[in-house]
Amino acid sequence: MPGNRAVVYRGAGHVEVEDVEYPAFEIKDGPGVNPDNVGRQLPHGVILKVVATNICGSDQHMVRGRTTAPEGLTLGHEITGEVIETGRDVEFIKTGDLVSVPFNIACGRCRNCKEGKTGVCENVNPDRAGSAYGYVDMGGWVGGQAEYVMVPYADWNLLKFPDRDQAMEKIRDLAMLADIFPTGFHGCVTAGVRPGSTVYIAGAGPVGLAAATSAFLLGAAVVIVADLQKERLDQARGFGCETIDVSQGEPADQIEQLVGEPEVDCAVDAVGFEARGHGGEAQTEHPATVLNAVMSVTRAGGAVGIPGLYVTGDPGAADDAAKVGSLSIRLGLGWAKSLSFTTGQCPVMRYNRQLMMAILHDRTEIARNVNATVIPLDQAPEGYTEFDKGAARKYILDPHGMIS
């Protein structure tokens, strides 16, 4: 049995690459594991040799100390890997398959899974509906920023790439299928992006750039990306987006300069709860800023997609209300404009196969658009630090040196 090394959360602002237990077909006790999950047998799972595993903005929320994540948690929910061992109940996935792992852990058996709502599976997390690898309050499933990881319900969860050699040639793009590409696409689909749409996307981090990529794939006429950081805005302009620096003021005026009116057809919040203000408030945290802005700039009768993360526990929030996820949202404005809102985890399996085909047949270049940057597993702490500083990159960890 080989060893295993993984990225482990060691307190606010601190991650380490450490020796950890090799995965097994059983949930064992550990940081963040719900006691009701301890001892759970997983004959339907597989062991993956991790080929690519990404650092996500959602991971950064934990690493900044902005959640209740326990120290010792193995991080990582964006996983692409090779199957090296299968549980006795796995029927269709085979050893040697190269696969993408949806970040949602789903059983395929509950009511929500059967309705395609795999982000809120009812059977994988005793605390609440919905689960993910290596994430706070998500059932304690071990994360995949590691050399090896166990994936449960493999026949249901895994997306097999049809040709291994072709997949390895496009592995930087395909690594985005685990989370950010479907998540950005979901934000756009739920916002109602269609051919000819004008679209406002708040946030030029990897999910925002993935949403912008998705908007173009869906036929948008104008994609406007807003952020506070020049490097990220430059990255968005590099593939055809219009951009807004919200440190210069509210977005409506800048939108009017771009499209002739201060509104758009639809909007996507790709920022989440650590939002900062606009204009003179750009250096101050205002967690409801983006939600209120997207309501303000979306036309009456339009829709807003909200893939940006919001939490029920934020110990680092500026006020007691925000610490429990209670924000000063202008719901009356949204109601008056008859806006539609979609929140929550993206149900990755709803989109990942179609997006895989778009990648394999050269209809999109998601890795280029998000500036995918491959680094060894040992450099994960440096990757987290640079990403936290606002680097316009999507870091891919390469635990076994398999990405050329």
> H/E/C letters for each residue in 29-41?
CCCCCCHHHCCCE
For residue 1, what pLDDT is reported? 64
CA distances 190 to 200, 342, 346, Å, are 13, 6, 10
Domain spans of the chain, in order of start: 4-179+347-398, 180-343
What CATH number is given for 4-179+347-398 in this structure?
A: 3.90.180.10
Quick check: helix, strand or coil at residue 98?
Answer: strand
For residue 358, what pLDDT is reported? 98
Q: Nearest CA to 401 among 379, 384, 382? A: 379
Segment 44-61 shows an average pLDDT of 96
How far apart are the C-alpha atoms of 90 and 79, rounded to whole Å? 19
For residue 269, what pLDDT is reported? 96
Over pLDDT 70: what percentage of the chain? 100
For domain 180-343, the CATH architecture is 3-Layer(aba) Sandwich (3.40)
Average pLDDT, the chain: 95
Whether the Cβ atoms of residue 174 and residue 359 lie closer than 8 Å to each other: yes
How far apart are the C-alpha atoms of 146 and 52, rounded to whole Å? 9
pTM of this prediction? 0.96
Q: With a cut of 70, say whether residue 372 has pLDDT above it.
A: yes
